[in-house]
Amino acid sequence: MTDSTQASAPETPTSAAADVQSGAPAVAPVTEQAPAAPEAQAEAPAEAPGQPAPAVEYTDFAVPEGMEMDAEVLTNFKGIAKELGIPQEAAQKLIDLQASLEAKRSAAAEQAQAEQAQQWAAQVKADKELGGENYDKTVATAIKAVEQYGTPELRSLLNETGIGNHPELVKFCHRIGKALSEDGLVMGGTQSAREMSIVDAFK
C-alpha cells in the first residue's frame, strides 16, 4: 500500500536569508536621492581679484610754516597715493616725513655753505700777497670796490651765498679798490677796515 501523502518541498529562502546562510555580506537596497536644491549649491560670488580700490579724495595737506611743496610733485604724489588706496591720514604722515627730510637737507646745505665760506676766508688770510699783515688792508681795499660799484642786491647775494670770501673774488675786488685809490677816490663809510672782516665787506 502506497503512501499517498508526499513530503512537501522545502520553501526557497529569500535572498537576504540566503545571503546570511551563505555568509555573504548583506547589501542594503539602493534608494534614489533627491538632487540638492539649487539654492544650496549656489554660493555668493567672490570678488574678482584685481578690482581697483575705492577712489580716495584728498584735502589739502599740512606743511611746516615757510616750506612750500612743488605743485607738480604734489599732484603726482596724490595720484600714486590714490592708486595705492592710501587714506588721508597715512598720506599726511608721508608728507610730514618728506618735510622732515627736506628740513634736514636744507640745514646741512647751510652748514656746508658756512664752512666753505670760512675755508675761503682762511685761504685769503694765508695768501702771501693778500693775507698775513696785509689782510686788513686787503679787506679795506675790497670794501672800496664793492661800495663804489656794488648794489645792495649784490652785497646781499655775496653775503648770503658766502661767495664774498672766495679768494678769486677778493683778488678781483682788491685790484679794483687799488685802482680807485690810485685815482684818489675816497672810500665811503665811517667804519674802519680793521674793525671789519671779509664777510663784513659784503653786508
Per-residue pLDDT of 123-152, as tens digits, reads: 999 999 899 999 999 988 998 898 889 889
Clarify whether residues 153 and 195 are in a common domain.
Answer: yes
Clarify whether residues 94 and 157 are in a common domain.
Answer: no
Q: Which domain holds residue 194?
A: 127-202
Q: Does residue 133 belong to any structural domain of this protein?
A: yes
Clarify whether residues 144 and 192 are in a common domain.
Answer: yes
Other CB atoms closer than 10 Å to residue 156's CB: what's the count? 13
Say how far apart CA 21 and CA 58 lie, in whole Å: 85
Q: What nine digits make up the cell of 83?
A: 592708486
Cβ-in-10-Å burial (0-12, 13-18, 19+) of 162 comes to buried
For helices 167-182 and 135-149, the axis angle rounded to 10 degrees is: 80
**Which DSSP state fits 50?**
T
Q: Does residue 140 belong to any structural domain of this protein?
A: yes
Spans of the chain below 50 pLDDT? 4-10, 12, 14-21, 24, 28, 30, 37, 40-42, 44-47, 185-196, 201-203
User: Under a CB-based contact definition with an 8 Å cutoff, are residues 144 and 187 in contact?
Assistant: yes
* Helix extents (H) in the chain: 15-22, 38-41, 71-84, 88-126, 135-149, 152-161, 167-182
Clarify whether residues 181 and 131 are in a common domain.
Answer: yes
Q: Does residue 162 belong to any structural domain of this protein?
A: yes
Give the pLDDT of residue 182.
Answer: 75
Give the pLDDT of residue 88.
Answer: 93
pTM confidence score: 0.55
Give the pLDDT of residue 16.
Answer: 47
Q: Give residue for cell 694765508.
A: 126
- Specify the number of domains making up the chain: 2
Give the pLDDT of residue 29.
Answer: 52
Q: Does residue 33 belong to any structural domain of this protein?
A: no
